[in-house]
Structure 1
Amino acid sequence: MNILRPPSTSSSSFPPYPNSVTLPAAASFTPTNNPISLCSINPPFTPAPRPTRHQFFVRSASGTANSSAGDLSSFLGSSPEAYSTHNDQELLSLLRNRRTDEAWAKYVQSTHLPGPTCLSRLVSQLSYQSKPESLTRAQSILTRLRNERQLHRLDANSLGLLAMAAAKSGQTLYAVSVIKSMLRSGYLPHVKAWTAAVANLSAAGDDGPEESIKLFTAITRRVRRFGDQSLVGQSRPDTAAFNAVLNACANIGDTEKYSKLFGEMSEWDCEPDVLTYNVMIKLCARVGRKELIVFVVCMTTMHSLVAAYVGFGDLRTAERIVQAMREKRRDLCKVLRECNGEDLKEKEEEEEAEEDAFEDDEGLVYSARDEVVEEGSEDVFKKLLPNSVNPSDEAPLLPKVFAPDSRIYTTLMKGYMKNGRVADTARMLEAMRRQDDRNSHPDEVTYTTVVSAFVKAGLMDRARQVLAEMARMGVPANRITYNVLLKGYCKQLQIDKAEDLLREMAEDAGIEPDVVSYNIIIDGCILIDDSAGALSFFNEMRTRGIAPTKISYTTLMKAFAMSGQPKLANRVFDEMMRDPRVKVDLIAWNMLVEGYCRLGLIEDAKRVVSRMKENGFHPNVATYGSLANGVSLARKPGEALLLWKEIKERCVVKKREESEGDSSPPMLKPDEGLLDMLADICVRAAFFKKALEIIACMEENGIPPNKTKFKKIYVEMHSRMFTSKHASQARVERRMERKRAAEAFKFWLGLPNSYYGSEWKLGPRED
């Protein structure tokens, strides 16, 4: 990402007094909306006393308009500087009149770089248009300024608007990088700009929620440094910003961080709203605290409540909630307490029938029920939900009656769909059609849920009938509806129908396919081993101006890896590394390793692993599994020993304090496939000592080894070992050691052997 610098300190860029606050000129182009102005933070220039490094002040980052000039004829034959000033005035006049497209055309035609005021206004207006083409233009200006080392010409307002526009268009990494660059350059972005980035990260996969929390913390830490908070009033976090970061905590189930941030809301004069408690319901659901939701329900909406119980898989309680709403009952808290009480009673009965209690030295009996609540989480929820500590005898009533709407019914339908209850899903749709209340009639989300249910059941014809019914009922299908159908056709290997649906989607329905649509059909090409088709759709996607995502690159790599073309997979990977919009993850590295290992090219795969480690990624179980498969195909059992040595070292729990700068690989928990493959290689190569170590590791991890398979391998390959009597003394001694290991392995298999004790070991022999 570009390194953004603060504007120059010329008189045309800043107000005359360092401690004054003015609105940037670039914010004036949209009078009907509240413009976003951003602040920069840098030490003030005063001769004495010298400020400390923690002293900051706020300054404007916008420039002022150039003075008026004469007509073009007065500049003919004048200096280039005068001609440049005249062009800037024409460009600025177009921008002031909101003629952004004409201003862009003039900027493109100009041979010189406009001044800071013109550039900042142009980037601001392009970003504010919220169109893909305009956003691309604004980003191209940023790229040009970076290449010419002129990034200081842009003010904070334009950068903030660009970051927010990128976040709204789904370019989260770009938006975050702009925000971080602004912080490094001494700017404090407007709260709306950085909240958009935090919200996108909180809902992203991988490490998005963790990065969201880090970004929120970095900005609030910077804001706290100001003694006079009025100077940074537009950058202070509001309730929306807290809701975004609290959502990140809920998504990863971090109760401690949620409690800490929730407590900070009062510090910033932010009051929890409905969405805050919706997120709290999600947190309760994420950590399995179903019994606590009853204490949140009176302060939030009913949608999250039904969604929480659907997420728990407790459709019975979700149905009772919806039924209570249909009956216009206000005692919903009582209904929930009754449901939770019934569930707790059933759970206790099951545990009493199955648990094996044990008695300690003092004669106290413990059971599994005593360890249900995670240590520390109870105190957190006592702070978040103080009314749950001493609940009143009488369940509170809802402030008003909540009638179920289409969203409530659709949420319940999603629960039916996940549980494979297709008939109940279809019946719910029919019942919604007959409702008197128009708010309960099915919408596009409802129909899409029914389509998903039929697709999941493999009933593609009925799914298409629902799509046709949507057109008859006047409910327009959206892109998600078509993507669900695309996935259904690809899953059934009907790629021709998927391709026809893709064309129908764009030409008949007027819905442009997005990157998800193409990712689905590229993955479908992989299922029928059509790497050429996958590449064709990938190129078509880019021709349409749709930026590939991490999934797009990884899926195309998978197509080449599965078809035995690792070099092409490597080329796709290199392009992915060069794409600044995509963050390469461990899945992409593993796909590259898999491509070489499928052909037994173990040396190439090892070079990829070395590159992966240099880039800060540690191999995981999937990486080692691919390497083990490659070693087996290459018939290089010696490589398996080196691989097992590395895996064994990472399986050992290291008793050491973790430090922030610790770069050692994390502990590894191997799975059955990896250990079975390594044991198979060692047995076939007669490395019985190592085979027993691997088998011991399998048993320690609760993985039952396949004795039947290993017994068959031993009998077929090694039953006539150690029969030669002509060998040197050194070879005889080595053979004896191997024979001891073989006898121990035969003992484990149950074959006739020289061991008759109850257990075997491979330690030093005792005389």
Structure 2
Amino acid sequence: MREAQTVPSRTTLNSLLTACIRVGEVDIAAEVVLCWSGKFRDDSKLGFGLSKDVIHEEFHESLRDWRTTIERPCGETFTLVLKGYLEKNRVTDAAKFLGRLCSRENSEHVPCSFVLNGVVDLGLRDEVHTMLQEMASLNAPADSMAYTNLIKAYCKLPQPLKAEAVLRDARQAGHSLDIGSYVPILDAFNLLQDYDCAHRLFRDMKQNDVVPLEPIMNKLLSVFEKEGKPYVMRKLLDTALMEPRLKVDLHDWNRTIQTFSRQKLMFDAKATVKKMRQAGFEPDARTYTFLLGGYILMGSKINEILLLWAEIKERLASSPSTSSTSLKLNEELLNGFLTFFVKYGYFRHALDVIARMEERSYWADKQKLRNMYWHLHRDLYTSKHRSQRRIDMSQERRKEVAAFKAWIGYPT
């Protein structure tokens, strides 16, 4: 064959390699690929101890002669050899072959990630992971892209814990993987609803100076909020507060308080408000709206709502409206309090709310309030058999009710 100067095609050589592997001669196939790739035969480095018969030597001479004209080996070529080793559980030999193939000394350097992609595509993810560990133990670690590709392959299953193990191996091998390797793991944890692990990985990102962190924090907050996980949201904010690069604003605290309130976890909602204040933020109108909504959902929390209104009034009285830190009431909050006070017959507080709404030209649904009054309070102070003493005692309250009825246009 050599005398006729016949140059085989890549397909022909791949078929030859397949035949070698089928009869158990994986080492010969590996040596052929190394020579074909520009690495001349060197048994001492491979460690395979192949016999040096005449035919073997002549074949190597032919490969060296053909290298200038033959097609270069492709991913399929490398995958054939690696698969052959892995099927025989010869992970160490596979790692040695891969390390030799991807060595920078190679006249035609082949990226390790390119070679391993073919094996990963065969579904041999665990075997590739073991091979990466073996290469690292031989002080010939694969390139960072090989780790990243395996991480993404695990996350597609999804198997985020295995992907996280690959991440740790990459760091031990001296690679600092960027955010692109972390995001698929976070997504996989969220897909499996393993939110505590997602938060743990975020802490890991912070400790390893992965940037940028802020978009990741916002993404996690949105996921936790959507899934109704306020406790993990609060843990995430606690983690973020310890990182100077991260900015936790009032909106982030409010989202957490709202999620607690929706689930009627008002003790934790109030505890979060306390933490928010310790972080330098005062509750705004939205904070109070969420707290009010939570108390209303719980029912029978009249005292808590009255205390909440008292706190709001105290803040309004202690800080000028022109101050940048003053509380700015909004229409939703005042309407919420107005509805509550009318429902439970606190007409003095209702008139107070109405006055504040009129100052700000806020809209109120008087038709709804008229209907509510008719259903709940239409018989209030209408009895003709009340004693004068009782009438005198309730005089102030009667005035409040009359003023409210006049405001909503209720017929007297």
TM-score, scaled to structure 1: 0.26
Structure number with larger C-alpha Rg: 2
TM-score, scaled to structure 2: 0.46
More helix by share: 2
